[in-house]
Structure 1
Amino acid sequence: METLAVLILLLVLLGIGLPVAWSFAGVVAALAWFYDANLNTLMLQGFRSLNSVILLALPLFILAGYLMESGGIAGRLISFIEMLLGRRRGGLGTALVGASGMFGAIAGTATAAVAAIGTLMIDPMEKRGYPRGYAAALLGISSLIGILIPPSITMILFAVATQQSVAACFAASIVPGLLLMGGLMAYNRHQVGRRFQETAPPPAQSLREKLSVTARTLPALLLPLIILGGIYGGVFTPTEAAAFAVLSAVLIGMFIYRDMTWKKLASSTVQSAETTGSIVLILLFSFIIGRILVAERIPQELTEMVMAAVENPILIILLVTTFLVLIGAVIDDVSITVVIAPLLLPLMVSVDVHPVHFASIVATSVVIGANSPPMAPLLYMACRIGKAPVKEAVLPALQLILWVALPLMLVTTFVPELSLALPRWLGLL
């Protein structure tokens, strides 16, 4: 009963507009009062939990994302993808999806993809005949490819919160990420000519122009190969890979593309520090919440209660995934990953769901929740960046969820090998 009251309190605090970190602080205070916990001891334990080498990857990947946006890497990637796909039916929408996936494979965050890609692509898509609301909805959904294609901030948080291997969680989400990318491209191609007409593409580029675009994009294209190859090849750890990504973004932006200035570097550093500070506060309070819940045996009691009420493992898995989708429509992906997922993990393990498989389930559910009203943070951000009315983006977003994101989540949930085969092949499980 106390846990339900605390969950309601969290939703109320978020609903009245209190920042997420301070909403979690309110939850900590309520739990400490309910269970008479020693806050001094809990704060000390929380700070010790943050003292992790793995967590150093978090601010570094966030900084890398901002540096790649301001250093011209995102723009080159979009030009390259548009050159490859832009002249085909639905080409510009396909290019948006492909650019989101490629940018996500470097930056690891959905918000950076929305800002970088939306700024450059929404206006050209409208000129080519795409409804602005549809383009914003497609951007909102496709930006979540960045939490599935590693390196992923969400997977780092999940691994730290549940004490799993970061590399294994990275590998587990690759196939679902590629499936999401392919599904969005296929849906977009189906819509063109049926719901709206795409105008004629610009004239084809000459071979010399294509080679020039490819040459300019080559440093950006090599980044994800080096980062992922280094992690899975044992050359460096995820934290070292994040440091390499930051250094590479600065060098490429300043000395190769020359779009990076000292002012942009300072601005990107400040923005990443603000984002990191917010996430670290959420992590601190989530660790404390987790300590209290574990001490009071809440996850175990939840598992026993559900197992007593529902005996069929498939129904239990459906209940958990439905809950993740519903709660994801109200709270953000970081909160789900560091608080809700560890709470539900014992229940999923009890029905033989591997923790690394559960990482993929959580990530695919976030794709749905982050674009579902009432909160829909990424959909609303895409609308702001793309200057599209929210009411024009909601229906296309729900259709994308129904025909692409929801089937992906169900397939990921009930076909474990999609998530586990690659980590096993790489020797991570």
Structure 2
Amino acid sequence: MEGLIAVGLLLFLMIVGVPVAWSFAGVLAYLSFAYDANFNTLMLQGYRSIDSVILIALPLFVLTGYLMQSGGIAHRLVDFIEVLVGKRKGGMGASMVLASGIFGAIAGTATAAVASIGTIMIDPLEKRGYPRGYSSALLGISSLLGILIPPSITMILFAVVTRQSVAACFAASIGPALLLIAGLILMNRFNVGRLFEEVSAGAKDGMEELPGKGIATLRALPALSLPIVILGGIYGGICTPTEAAAIAAFVAILIGFFIYRDLTIKRLGSSVVAAAETTGTVILILLFSFMIGRILASERIPQELTETITSLVKDPLMILIAVNIFLIITGMIMDDVSVTVVVAPLFMPLMIASGVDPIHYASIVACSVVIGANSPPVAPILYMACRIGKVSIHQSVMPAIKLMVFVGMPVMAVTSFVPELSLFIPKLLGLM
């Protein structure tokens, strides 16, 4: 009963506008009182949990994302992709999807992708005939490729709280990410000519002229080197994810200062401050969630949840469906960090008991976050995309729901019921 009250209290605090970190603090205070927990011991255990080398990758990847935005890296990537695919039917929408995917392969965060890619692409999309509401919805779900494509902040958090390999969790989400990219591109192509008419490149006055393929490729080469450095270093066994994050941030600074020359001391300082603010919030949430987890574990709440559900539902397939639905619903009313560090670990014993591999479960959680973060009532990424797109949320809700129903949910279903989609690459790389 106390566990249900704690979940209800967390949702209530978030709904009334209490910052997420302090909502977790409120839940921790309630559970400490309800179970008469020793707060000094909890603080010590919480500190030990966040005293992790792996977590150093978190601020470094976040910083890399901000540096891409302020150092001109994102702009060159968008130009490069648009030159390659922008002139085809649905090409501008596909450019946004692919740009978000490549951005995710460097920064690992959705919010930075929304700000960077959206700022660059929403206006050109409108000039090509894309409604701003639709463009913002497409931006919202595309930006969440940063959660699926490694390196992913969400997967780092999942690996830390569930004691799994970060590299294996990274690799598990590659298959679902590629499937989501293909689905979004096909859905966008289907919508062109049905929901709106796409204006041919250069057919409308005021449209910015793109550089030629050779020039765009040459300009993008330094930016394209970043995902090669990060992923090649991790999966080539050259460096750990933390070391790769440090190298990525350092290379992003060099590219911004000395190659593109868009990065200034002032912009670097702003990027560091923004990264510190984001990291501080996440670390606070992690600290409180670890302490909450200690209380729940000591009271055997996850085990009791597993026993209760398995006594009611015997079929592992139905259990998997039920967990999928619950993850999506919680994702609709909680942010991605909350789902990853609180809700996901709660169901880990149940998933293992049902025969689901923990690495497979990591990709299921990532897919649920993609759907939840763009689904009302909270929909934090969709709201942010609408602010970037300067459009009312009401104009983006229906396009977003259609993308969720026809692309997001099928991808999650395939990910859930075809384990090899998630496990093939980790096995191929010898990570499990």
> C-alpha offsets along residues 360-391 of structure 1, whole Å, 9 cap, x if unaligned?
00000111100000000000000001101110
Q: Does 1:257 align with 2:260?
A: yes
In the alignment, the residues of structure 1 paired with residue 159 and residue 104 of structure 2 have an alpha-carbon distance, to the nearest angstrom, of: 18
Q: Does 1:349 align with 2:352?
A: yes
Q: Does 1:339 align with 2:342?
A: yes
Find the counterpart in structure 2 of residue 119 from structure 1: 119
Find the counterpart in structure 2 of residue 281 from structure 1: 284
Find the counterpart in structure 2 of residue 367 from structure 1: 370
In the alignment, the residues of structure 2 paired with residue 209 and residue 392 of structure 1 have an alpha-carbon distance, to the nearest angstrom, of: 35
Q: Does 1:393 align with 2:361?
A: no
Find the counterpart in structure 2 of residue 57 from structure 1: 57
For 1:271, the aligned partner's letter is A
In the alignment, the residues of structure 2 paired with residue 161 and residue 35 of structure 1 have an alpha-carbon distance, to the nearest angstrom, of: 22
User: Which of 412, 415, 418 is the aligned partner of 2:418?
Assistant: 415
Q: Is the 8 A contact 2:49 2:290 kept in 1?
A: yes
Q: What TM-score do you get using the length of structure 2 for normalisation? A: 0.98
Consecutive unaligned residues in structure 2, runs of 5 or more? none
In the alignment, the residues of structure 2 paired with residue 206 and residue 295 of structure 1 have an alpha-carbon distance, to the nearest angstrom, of: 62
Find the counterpart in structure 2 of residue 221 from structure 1: 224
For 1:89, the aligned partner's letter is K
Q: What's the CA shift for 1:202?
A: 2.0
In the alignment, the residues of structure 1 paired with residue 213 and residue 131 of structure 2 have an alpha-carbon distance, to the nearest angstrom, of: 29
Q: What's the CA shift for 1:207?
A: 12
| CA RMSD, 1 decimal | 1.4
Aligned residue for 1:215, secondary structure, equals helix
Q: Count the aligned residue pairs.
A: 429
Q: What's the CA shift for 1:128?
A: 1.0
Find the counterpart in structure 2 of residue 108 from structure 1: 108
Q: What TM-score do you get using the length of structure 1 for normalisation? A: 0.99
Aligned residue for 1:329, secondary structure, equals helix
In the alignment, the residues of structure 1 paired with residue 193 and residue 421 of structure 2 have an alpha-carbon distance, to the nearest angstrom, of: 33
> C-alpha offsets along residues 48-72 of structure 1, whole Å, 9 cap, x if unaligned?
1111000100011011110111000
Q: What's the CA shift for 1:326?
A: 0.3
User: Which of 300, 303, 306 is the aligned partner of 1:300?
Assistant: 303
For 1:219, the aligned partner's letter is P
Find the counterpart in structure 2 of residue 162 from structure 1: 162
Find the counterpart in structure 1 of residue 97 from structure 2: 97
Question: Given the superposition, is the C-alpha separation of residues 38 and 213 from structure 1 closer, same or farther in structure 2, using an over 3 Å criterion?
Answer: same
Question: Given the superposition, is the C-alpha separation of residues 216 and 24 from structure 1 closer, same or farther in structure 2, using an over 3 Å criterion?
Answer: same
Q: Does 1:210 align with 2:209?
A: no
Q: What's the CA shift for 1:205?
A: 12
Task: Give percent identity, aligned residues only.
Answer: 65
> C-alpha offsets along residues 195-214 of structure 1, whole Å, 9 cap, x if unaligned?
10011112799998211110
In the alignment, the residues of structure 2 paired with residue 146 and residue 239 of structure 1 have an alpha-carbon distance, to the nearest angstrom, of: 17
Find the counterpart in structure 2 of residue 174 from structure 1: 174
Aligned residue for 1:4, secondary structure, equals helix
Consecutive unaligned residues in structure 1, runs of 5 or more? none
